């Protein structure tokens, strides 16, 4: 069995085993700070959505790992409903007999003794937490380097990859004159620069800071030698933030999709996909060069691995690359689902939201009524992932749900309000579709 972060839909039989890996890439899970531990647990729970989505983007003879919470009656019923959604959309899903369940906190260790007989074991990323599966220190070192924002900032220039102006320092160095000078010279019109640290997920390790003091406060819980990366913030009035996935094999690099980043209240919530998103030859060459960088530093495979690129398009259509992710990306799951449902090149909004537990049956009915196979309205909708770990929101339990809407997003929001109420799926109320 070969183990890695393989691109989906490989012809080989595959076991998809994915839990939260980001924090354990650079840190020991037994020695996390309080904030790191809270972020790690939150990411574990979010990963439940990924596991459900894997049911829809794999072959029927593949296997998928799921948290054991999905076996509880209330969540197993919801999981069956999601499988029915996928089938109604014309997707051949993995059968329940190919589900392998494991506990949230010890997921990889538990399933290590129950691996199915497949040719590939596909991980979200090679990390410390799943070392019990890959047992490959060299692969872990490659993953640490290629996924490191620091490694990329230091090595990208020799590949001719344009990046924002960057300063690498440490927590202890934030009070230096060098840092103050960098901040003063590179702050945007709002007086902010970007600060990045190792580990964590869901942009928890990336933040805009408005002063050197704010930077110091952000990393106050870490040791003085904690690496810190400071970077010029690209003004969204002049730059558009985009992302793509690359297929990287030993003899091929290909761009698989193009997406525009969606934000709500300044936080990443998902992606916007449109046939109007295109690449010039020059932009394509720059992005392919990033794949060459990843492969040159050891990230590749005979079967093909996934690599995500975050980049900005500037006023003159120039590309500036901010980071790469040698792993599966959040946008890879919904774009793979879009390929499986005939969406007729409609614009698609893909995002993470919250559904009230006491309203869950009604929410599922709403989704079923608007599946791409069920309606001829000016929008269709599919929820393709959920997490079986309730979150408190204003005293009421909610669960995370992963959504995609095709067509008229504003019409979806209006229909949602009529059927579920103004406060249902609150993030959808904050999304503004960008102009292209």
Using the predicted structure, report yes or no on whether residue 38 has a pLDDT greater than 90. Answer: no
Task: With cut-offs at 50, 70 and 90, classify the pLDDT of residue 190.
Answer: confident
Nearest to 45 by CA among 81, 70, 15, 14: 70
Share of the chain above pLDDT 70, in %: 98
For the chain, the structural domain boundaries read: 2-146, 165-231
Using the predicted structure, report yes or no on whether residue 375 has a pLDDT greater than 70. Answer: no
Share of the chain above pLDDT 90, in %: 80
Residue 82 DSSP one-character state: H
What is the rounded average pLDDT of the residues 146-166? 92
Query: What are the tens digits of pLDDT across the range 391-435?
Result: 999 899 999 999 999 999 999 999 999 999 999 999 999 999 888
Q: What stretch of H or E contains 66? A: strand 63-67
Q: Across 160-205, where does the E strand assignment appear? A: 166-170, 193-196
Task: With cut-offs at 50, 70 and 90, classify the pLDDT of residue 317.
Answer: very high
Query: What are the tens digits of pLDDT across the range 99-122?
Result: 999 999 999 999 999 999 999 999
Beta-sheet strand order (sheet of 2-4)? 2-4, 120-122, 14-16, 63-67, 99-102
Q: Output the pLDDT for position 197.
A: 87
- Average pLDDT of the chain is 93
What is the rounded average pLDDT of the residues 190-210? 80
165-231 folds as Dna Ligase; domain 1 (3.30.1490)
Largest CA distance in the chain: 62
Encode burial over 357-368: b for 16+ CB neighbours within 10 A, e otherwise.
eebbeebbebbb
């Amino acid at each position: 069995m070969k183990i890695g972060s393989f691109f989906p839909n490989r012809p080989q039989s595959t076991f998809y085993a994915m839990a939260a890996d980001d924090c354990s890439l650079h840190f020991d899970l037994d020695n996390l700070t309080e904030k790191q531990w809270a972020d790690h647990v939150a990411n574990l729970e979010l990963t439940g959505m990924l596991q459900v989505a894997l049911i829809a983007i794999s072959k029927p003879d593949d296997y998928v790992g799921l948290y054991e919470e999905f076996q509880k009656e209330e969540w197993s019923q919801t999981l069956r409903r999601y499988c029915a959604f996928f089938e109604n959309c014309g997707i051949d899903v993995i059968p329940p007999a190919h589900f392998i369940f494991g506990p949230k906190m010890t997921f990889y260790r538990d399933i290590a003794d129950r691996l199915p007989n497949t040719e590939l074991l596909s991980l979200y990323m090679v990390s410390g937490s799943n070392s019990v599966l890959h047992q490959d220190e060299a692969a872990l070192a490659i993953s640490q380097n290629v996924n490191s924002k620091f490694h990329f900032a230091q090595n990208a220039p020799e590949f001719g990859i344009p990046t924002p102006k960057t300063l690498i320092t440490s927590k202890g160095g934030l009070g230096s004159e060098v840092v103050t000078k960098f901040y003063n010279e590179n702050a945007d019109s709002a007086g902010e620069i970007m600060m990045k640290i190792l580990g964590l997920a869901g942009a928890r390790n990336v933040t805009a800071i408005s002063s050197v003091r704010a930077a110091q406060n952000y990393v106050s819980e870490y040791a003085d030698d904690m690496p810190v990366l400071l970077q010029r913030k690209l003004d969204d009035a002049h730059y558009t933030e985009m992302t793509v996935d690359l297929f990287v094999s030993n003899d091929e690099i290909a761009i698989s999709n193009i997406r525009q980043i969606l934000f709500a209240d300044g936080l990443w919530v998902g992606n916007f996909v449109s046939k109007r998103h295109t690449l010039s030859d020059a932009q394509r060459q720059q992005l392919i060069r990033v794949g060459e960088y990843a492969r040159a530093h050891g990230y590749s495979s005979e079967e093909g691995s996934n690599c995500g690129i975050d980049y900005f398009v500037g006023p003159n259509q120039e590309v500036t690359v901010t980071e790469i992710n040698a792993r599966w990306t959040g946008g890879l799951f919904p774009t793979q689902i879009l390929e499986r449902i005939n969406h007729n090149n409609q614009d698609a909004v893909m995002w993470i939201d919250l559904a009230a537990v006491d309203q869950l049956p009604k929410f599922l009915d709403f989704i079923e009524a608007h599946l791409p196979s069920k309606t001829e309205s000016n929008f269709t909708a599919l929820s393709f992932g959920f997490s079986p770990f309730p979150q408190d929101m204003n005293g009421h339990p909610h669960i995370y749900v992963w959504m995609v809407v095709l067509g008229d997003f504003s019409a979806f929001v209006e229909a949602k309000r009529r059927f579920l109420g103004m406060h249902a799926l609150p993030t959808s109320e904050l999304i503004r579709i960008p102009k292209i």
